[in-house]
Amino acid sequence: MPDASQPLVTVHDLHIGAVTDAGRQVEIIKGVSFDIRPGEFVALIGESGSGKTTIALSLMGYCRPGCSITGGTVTLDGRDVTAMTEAARAELRGTEVSYVPQSAAAAFNPSKRIMDQVVEITGIHRLMPRAEAEAKAVSLFRALALPQPETIGRRYPHQVSGGQLQRLAAAMALIGDPKLVIFDEPTTALDVTTQIEVLRAFKAVVQKGGVSGVYVSHDLAVVAQIADRIIVLKGGEIQEENTTPKILTEARHPYTKALLAAVDPVPHQPRSIAGLQPRPPILEAIGLHAGYGTFQNAEPAIKVLKNVNFRLERGRNLGVIGESGSGKSTLARAVSGILPPYRGAVLLDGHELDGDLKERRKEDLRRMQIVFQLADTALNPAQTVGSILARPLKFYHGLRGAARDARVDALLDMVHLPAALKYRLPRELSGGQKQRVNLARALAAEPELILCDEITSALDTVVAAAILKLLEELQSELNLSYMFISHDLSTVEAICDDVLVMYRGEVVEELPAARMSAEAAHPYSKLLISSVPQLDPGWLDSLDQDPELLAAFSRR
Amino acid sequence: MTFKPTNWTGRDDAAVEHAIRRGASRRELLKMLMASGVAVTAGSSILLRAGAAVAATPVTGGSFRAAGWSSSTADTLDPAKASLSTDYVRCCAFYNRLTFLDEAGQVQMELAESLETDDAKVWQVNLKSGVTFHDGKTLTAADVVYSLNRHLDDSVGSKANSIAKQMTAITAVDDLTVRIELAAPNADLPTILSLHHFMILAEGTTDFTKANGTGAFLCEVFEPGVRSIGTKNPNYFKAEGPYLDSFEFFAISDDSARVNALLSGDIQLAASINPRSMRLIDSQPNVVKSVTTSGNYTDLNIRLDMDPGTKAGFIEGMRHLINREQIVKAVLRGLGEIGNDQPVSSANRYHNPDLKPAEFDPEKAKHIFDKAGLLGTSIPVVASDAATSSVDMATVIQQAGAEIGMKLDVQRVPSDGYWSNYWLKAPVHFGNINPRPTPDILFSLLYASDAPWNESHYASEKFDSLLVEARGSLDEARRTEIYWDMQKMVATQAGTLIPAYISNVDALSEKVKGLKPNPLGGMLGYAFAEYVWLDA
Amino acid sequence: MPKPMFLSPARHGFRFNWAGRIGLAIVLLWGVIALVGPLITPYPVGEIVDWDYFGPMSQKFLLGTDYLGRDMLSRILMGARYTVGISLAAVTIACSVGVVLGMIAAVLGGIFDMGLSRLLDAINGIPGLLFGLVVVAAVGSSLTVLILTLAAIYMPGAYRFARSLAVNVNTMDFVTVARARGERTPYLIAREIFPNILGPVLADLGVRFVFIVLVLSGLSFLGLGVQPPNADWGALVRENIGALSFGAPAVVFPSLAIASLTISMNLFIDNMPTRIRDRSA
Amino acid sequence: MQASLIPYILVARRLGIALITLIIVSFAVFFATDLLPGDVAEILLGQAATPEAVAGLREAMGLNQPAFLRFLGWLGGLFTGDLGTSYVNQMPVADLIGDRLANSLKLAGVTSAVSVPLALFLGITAAMWRGSVYDRLVTALTITVISVPEFMVATLAVLIFAVWLKWLPALSFGAEVGTFWALLKAYTMPVITLTFVVSAQMIRMTRAALIETIDTPYVEMARLKGAGRIRQVLRHALPNALGPIANAMALSLSYLVGGVIIVETIFNYPGVAKLMVDAVATRDLPLIQSCAMIFCVSYLTLITLADLVAILSNPRLRR
């Protein structure tokens, strides 16, 4: 064991530069200094672009292509990794310091068996014989609560679930007995119920081994459960650094405060619908079934949605919540006709829509718009913002020329974007701006109903909160209704009146958003609700979930 | 792939056939021949052209590789179906004919001891004795009867069928005597029997995957479109030859590849060398050329019965538009002679030396075209690699035309199918004519009103009657006079413009000896294998 | 950074390295020569200007003379018109047909996609040069036939390429959004898919252009091609190949012309201008 | 669906697709060649073609049957291995093709044996040291090679090695190939030429495919595990790039059977490409059709093989 009084890692005045494709030298890390003591768990937190991953990787002496360490030192266990040769750094990697990637699904080689990849470090560094390494891996699998620890290594990455892969990645990182493990947003891609398992497993293994950790995340609530100390980053600089409890309770920096605020959004205030004459619900689904694959006997091979029913009243918002694979996105596709349901009906404002959008009337299409999760792929990269917004104006309203241009400006204004942005291409916008444009395009149709499919999931918490606020604003201005699909309970709480909880293609429960925690009756709903991390450092440890229930529902 | 016409092709077969037909129908000619006592026998004196033969002592042994220019899967060992140069080379090596044509174009005896006739209608062929086939069988009259009769059998598909048809009865008189009866008298039968198609097979031969002949070489390998290999026949009936132990023949269709193969020593003979490779050949010390100057020519044919040939002055103008000197010097690289628009070349003793080629005079041509109202119109001229050098000749003429505002639209068409689709058909096109031994054959074939290959559709009663007269005339001076007149008529009246007579050039390793130029084609009339040897 | 509104972003912010620039410059130079060729040839293209053949480079004949004694410079300048023109026409036809069919197949899917893909796969299986030979045997050789044949040889490849790109784009959310909006296939193809595969398609077009130049010279080598007195570069090489052994300019320069065009095109494609994301510089 | 059956199903489906394509091809080939102008009977008879003779020959050759019947007959023949009889020399097409196909495959085989390892080596190493001088050199070399017409390469090779240096024979066939050394010499030039032609594209595609996989997170992960460059590329990137590499190889190699007409012409190598050219010139339809089928079959075989490699090298067994 190293001397506990000496820091394991010392980062001193670290500068990392990057060359942009215009040939311009930019500094992405601007003089960062911090220490990590042996056995300590430090969190680097910040939004995307804050430099948290870059700093974490620099601890391994590694910079992504195009970047380079331009100043300062990174001392690991007394040795300056910035001054080493690449070969010497390679010696460190896996043995002194190792890495748990953000997406284990991408970081596992799809064509190699898991065991080969987990024990590869021992082979590269000749740490132990293969058999011994495999035995060690199996014990790590067991410690990480992986199912079938003896045999899981024989599978290929695609044959195990995301949560398991993430834990396997941890096993891969730990097999070389490193002194420092870097966790790079290891739970961001996971469902909440899975996240809990993974977090627990990490915490258990790391604490037992006495290794130090760096935990990179944008989620304060998650970090609160695992980190001793939190470093808040923004724009490549440290904003605030303190122990976890102090950050949570005595945040000084405005940015830290904003982060904290975003974790607990203001609950939605249901709008008054009194005074309006009774009208049919804006959207109603009756016995909806949908699926993929080849049809046999009028039923698809892979059935996803099973008998989904709901009503969405005009001016209200319906949340749909569930984990990946629950069919919530399929529901949006079935409702919008992108994936025609093979049974059941969708009623818009009381009249039945054809299942297939090709058969729907233009007017009906206009009234119900859909907004997708990833603004990156939802906006045509080859078109300017202006022409993206102009198309629905022309298509639905026949607007041309100056009238159309004026309307584009108005739409941008509506989503709080400057009019000059209309000359930009999507890739020149930030994530939040893209999602606003995405929204503005839906608004251009002047819809009555917008299907929002996870529209805040890919955004940083602060940015997501702003989008939610915008949605509220727009609703009151334009008399919209939303069907809001999300895996994030707090988001749904923040905007919806009612919530459908979906599990394996079925609606297990329908609840009023405001009283979800209190009224949830279905075990799955309860599990889901209890799995949302809280800003309390003791939350994870005190969380009392029925392991059988967890096993039954998380099935991964 | 280009398929150059060989010097002896299906067209020639028809030519011979035609000459024969004409001969048979012209009794006076026959009478003339009979009167002079035609009886061709072995040992007639051979008049070689000066300088053609070099005395040297043949050396025996060695293997020899030669490349022609075309070969395909249509290659055959069946002499009845032979149609390409490779076929003829093979046939000459593996089989023998009753007669053959020597370097001077004279008929010589091969398997026949002698040919005898009294009336040119009934012929008696006396065979040499003691000749054996490769499989050991002795040559008898039955073999000759079988071989000749095959050409009469429609199911064989002989290329010489129409020529052979006049042989109404072919019978064996005894073991070494064959009687051939003709439908009508024809004194040219000895020449006809020297055609490559009339090779003698063993009686009953139907399988042509291997050759069983009496020839100088045994057929070792035959792969159609690939190659043939022959090995020396130890029991060859001729006293001399063959000298080579073995020879291999195949085709390299690409001109420069053929030359390169010779230069690299992979082959000892490359047939039919392109003029533009001459500099390369000349620069090589160990390579020699065998130049055959003959009556081969490529002509520009303007049909007299179609536009623009019907327009007065067009042909006249074209004669002056052809820069003959340039064609010989640039296109043929000097390997040819300037032609004077008629088919009898200077190699022929009836050639009219007084007939001067039309002068190259673009201004005069321009004047003529202008008067005919042809300037400014676009005239398609069809050329093809199939007709030797025609594309280059066309460009030379085209360029001269361009300078005086006469637009000639040269259309290069694929060699493949040229003879059946364009030749004789297009209003202005190129043709290529192989040498013929006599003016009579040339004129009957190409210029008589009913000639099968009347390239320009020339028709003149006077010409026709002169042709008949010359054929019947025993007066040499008179015949010469008539042929001179006829040459003049063709040169001024017909639409066949013959800018040059083309030489054939075979390139060979300096070690190759015994290859004598043959007026009827390169590679010693395709029979080189038997006669050449390799100097040590 | 605020931008003047009249500036279209497409006109700015490209990075283009020197290799790409050189490539483009040479390609453009040949393009210009193809256009103005007849105006700048020192001698008429078919005129025999020298009794000598395969002449050396000289004051009078800058690039020597060919096998008939014609001026090589003039012939190469005129040949540019055919080599560049035919290849460009063929590649344009091949790529536009292939790309449009590929996008339609990707968008429509199903039987149409399956059938077309199999059929074009089949055509792809026939070697290009042989296909050319058969076609010319069947219908004769003319400029149109040549262009269409070359286009036919390269269309299936362009189709395959465009289809695979379009299939990827077709699954993108923005296409789904457009579909959900009620847009029809022509709009989807023209506005949503095409602009997003344009870059790779152009690169592919460049690669195919190079191949067509080479196949065209191959066809010329086999005796099919432009009508005399003109000749494309491949035909120039072929008719003068006898001079290769003396390294005569008549064969060296047309070869260089072909190589310069193809190499430059490749250089250009490999170093296409890339849009600069960092717009603040 | 049983998981273990999936690969077989995918392979079977791929083979099925190949078979369907083959039938489409045979249909296209048969009717396309049937459209060739020029009557076989007339061409065969040449100058001796009288109308009666042509009619007789047509009848004898079965040309008077409806095209579709002839197609069925031909297709039936193909499946039973009977390729028909040459119109031109009455030999069975199978006999005519036999040796030539063997020659073509021999040349293609030798060329593949040389060019594939070469291309893989250069492509992989260039990708491994992307951006280095070596990489640039390889890239420049491939661009140059890809840009030179093959008849130039071939003719130059002949001039240098056969005519000037006299190291190698100018002709590849018929040369004495009794000894291995002689065989090597005979094949050297065509193989060099063809290697020039096919490798460049393979090198480029290998490099591109590999670079794409090198840029993936799992290769970065390997690096962060301390793997050296060779291990990153060979162990992690290469297996995942096999599919596209195999595809590029297949496309390039498919050229070796039918596309080598120029090489066959210059080196006088009797392969199937020249055979088909001959067949076209003589309108020998059975031969043309059989040759075309050979090309298509070899193409489809290679493409299908590449697809199978892609399927089998990917544990997810999906494309």
Cα-Cα-Cα-Cα dihedral sign, residues A348, A352, A355, A358: negative
DSSP secondary-structure letter at A161?
-
Write the pLDDT tens digit of every residue in A474-504: 888 888 899 999 888 888 888 888 899 998 8
Scored b (16 or more CB within 10 A) or e, B332-370 reads bbebbbbbbbbbbbebbebbbeebebbebebebbbbbbb
> C9 lies in a domain?
no
Domains in chain B with CATH codes: 10-55 (no CATH), 293-503 (3.10.105.10)
> C277 lies in a domain?
no
Domain range enclosing C191: 17-35+70-272
Which residues of chain A carry a pLDDT beneath 50? 1-2, 556
Percentage with pLDDT > 90 across chain A: 17
Contact: A441, C177; criterion CB under 8 Å: yes
Sequence-separated (6 or more) residues with CB below 8 Å from residue A546: none
Q: Which CATH number fits domain D3-36+82-311: 1.10.3720.10, 1.10.15.40, 3.40.50.300, 3.40.1410.10?
A: 1.10.3720.10
How far is D29 from C119, CA to CA, in rounded Å?
A: 12
D180 or B96, which is more confident: B96
Please state the rounded mean pLDDT for residues D214-226.
89
**According to the model, what pLDDT value does residue D51 have?**
65
Strands (E), chain C: 14-15, 274-275
Beta-bridge mates of residue C70? C48
Contact: C127, D273; criterion CB under 8 Å: yes
Write the pLDDT tens digit of every residue in D270-281: 888 888 877 877
State the DSSP H helix or E strand holding residue C175, giving kind and residue range, or none if neither: helix C173-181
D225, D313, D315 member nearest A124 (Cβ): D225
State both tokens at B234: 């130890």
Sequence-separated (6 or more) residues with CB below 8 Å from residue A290: A300, A303, A304, A305, A330, A331, A333, A334, A339, A340, A341, A342
DSSP secondary-structure letter at D100?
H
Secondary structure of residue A500 in the 3-state scheme: strand
- Count of CA atoms in the C-beta half-sphere (13 A) of A357: 23
- Contact criterion met (CB below 8 Å) for A11 and A74: yes
- Name the burial class of residue C111, with classes exposed (0-12), middle (13-18) and buried (19+) by CB atoms within 10 angstroms of its CB: exposed
The length of chain B in residues reads 536
Neighbours of D6 (CB within 10 A): 14
Question: How confident is residue D4, by pLDDT bands cut at 50, 70 and 90?
Answer: low
Strands (E), B190-329: 217-223, 227-232, 246-251, 269-270, 287-302
Cα-Cα-Cα-Cα dihedral sign, residues A471, A476, A478, A482: positive
Sequence-separated (6 or more) residues with CB below 8 Å from residue C60: none
- Contact criterion met (CB below 8 Å) for A36 and A7: yes
Domains A9-263 and A283-534 agree in fold = yes
Mutation target among B17, B155, B226 for the D interface, most CBs of D within 10 A: B226
Residues of D in contact with A61 (CB under 8 A): none
pLDDT at D268 over 70: yes
- Contact criterion met (CB below 8 Å) for C261 and C83: yes
A497-501, B158-162, C186-190, D4-8: range with lowest mean pLDDT: D4-8
The length of chain A in residues reads 556
How far is A538 from C140, CA to CA, in rounded Å?
A: 86
Contact: A125, D226; criterion CB under 8 Å: yes
How far is D281 from B74, CA to CA, in rounded Å?
A: 10
Q: Are strands C14-15 and C274-275 parallel, antiparallel or unpaired?
A: antiparallel
Scored b (16 or more CB within 10 A) or e, B304-328 reads beeebbebebbbbbbbbbbbbebbb
State both tokens at C72: 């090589």
How far is C72 from C235, CA to CA, in rounded Å?
A: 12
**According to the model, what pLDDT value does residue A3 have?**
52
D216, D226, D314 member nearest A93 (Cβ): D226
HEC assignment per residue over A508-544: EEEEEHHHHHHHCCCHHHHHHHHCCCCCCCCHHHHCC
DSSP secondary-structure letter at B206?
-
Residues of A in contact with C114 (CB under 8 A): none
Helix extents (H) in chain D = 6-34, 40-45, 51-61, 67-79, 93-128, 133-147, 150-157, 180-214, 217-224, 229-231, 238-253, 255-258, 261-266, 272-281, 285-313
Min distance B279 CA to chain C CA atoms (Å): 8
CATH number of the domain at C102, please.
1.10.3720.10
**According to the model, what pLDDT value does residue B430 have?**
92
D28, D144, D156 member nearest C263 (Cβ): D144
Residues of D in contact with A19 (CB under 8 A): none
Percent helix, strand and coil across chain A, each to the nearest 5? 40, 25, 35
**According to the model, what pLDDT value does residue B522 have?**
67
How far is A446 from A351, CA to CA, in rounded Å?
A: 19
Closest B-chain CA to C70: B330
Min distance C193 CA to chain D CA atoms (Å): 22
Q: Global pTM?
A: 0.79
Q: Are strands A498-503 and B227-232 parallel, antiparallel or unpaired?
A: unpaired
> C7 lies in a domain?
no
> C104 lies in a domain?
yes
- Contact criterion met (CB below 8 Å) for B1 and B169: no
**According to the model, what pLDDT value does residue A271 have?**
63
A151-155, B507-511, C196-200, D162-166: range with lowest mean pLDDT: D162-166
How far is B43 from B102, CA to CA, in rounded Å?
A: 12
How far is A206 from A301, CA to CA, in rounded Å?
A: 44
How far is A90 from A552, CA to CA, in rounded Å?
A: 42
- Contact criterion met (CB below 8 Å) for C269 and C261: no
pLDDT at C281 over 70: no
D85 or A339, which is more confident: A339
Closest CA to C266 of C198, C199, C210: C210
End-to-end CA distance of chain C: 9
Angular region, C82: left φ>0, alpha ψ -120 to 50, beta rest: alpha
Which residues of chain B carry a pLDDT beneath 50? 1-55
**According to the model, what pLDDT value does residue D45 have?**
59
How far is B504 from B296, CA to CA, in rounded Å?
A: 8
pLDDT at D142 over 70: yes
- Contact criterion met (CB below 8 Å) for C102 and C84: no
Q: Are strands B246-251 and B63-68 parallel, antiparallel or unpaired?
A: parallel
How far is B247 from B219, CA to CA, in rounded Å?
A: 10
C125, C128, C130 member nearest D276 (Cβ): C130
Residues of C in contact with A389 (CB under 8 A): none
CATH of domain A9-263: 3.40.50.300
Task: Give yes or no for A24 touching C (CB within 8 A).
Answer: yes
**According to the model, what pLDDT value does residue B133 have?**
93
User: Class for domain A283-534, per CATH?
Assistant: alpha beta
Residues of C in contact with B321 (CB under 8 A): none
Sequence-separated (6 or more) residues with CB below 8 Å from residue D69: none
C9, C15, C174 member nearest A380 (Cβ): C174
Closest CA to C188 of C91, C121, C109, C118: C109
Phi, psi of A70 (to 5 degrees): -105, -10
Residues of D in contact with B281 (CB under 8 A): none
Secondary structure of residue C111 in the 3-state scheme: helix
How far does CA D65 lie from the centroid of its chain?
34
Write the pLDDT tens digit of every residue in A40-86: 889 998 887 788 889 999 998 888 888 888 888 998 888 888 888 88
Task: Give helix then strand counts, H and E, for chain A.
Answer: 23, 20
How far is D309 from D129, CA to CA, in rounded Å?
A: 26
DSSP states of C18-79: HHHHHHHHHHHHHHHHHHHHHHH-SS-TT-B--SSSS----SSSTT-B-TTSBBHHHHHHHH
The count of structural domains within chain C is 1
Min distance D207 CA to chain A CA atoms (Å): 18
Contact: C121, D258; criterion CB under 8 Å: no
The amino acid at residue B90 is R
Spell out the domain ranges in chain A.
Answer: 9-263, 283-534
Residues of D in contact with C137 (CB under 8 A): 36, 38, 280-281
**According to the model, what pLDDT value does residue D174 have?**
53
Sequence-separated (6 or more) residues with CB below 8 Å from residue A459: A431, A432, A435, A467
Q: What is the ipTM of this complex?
A: 0.76
Closest CA to B10 of B59, B82, B110, B58: B82
How far is A294 from A298, CA to CA, in rounded Å?
A: 9
How far does CA C266 lie from the centroid of its chain?
11
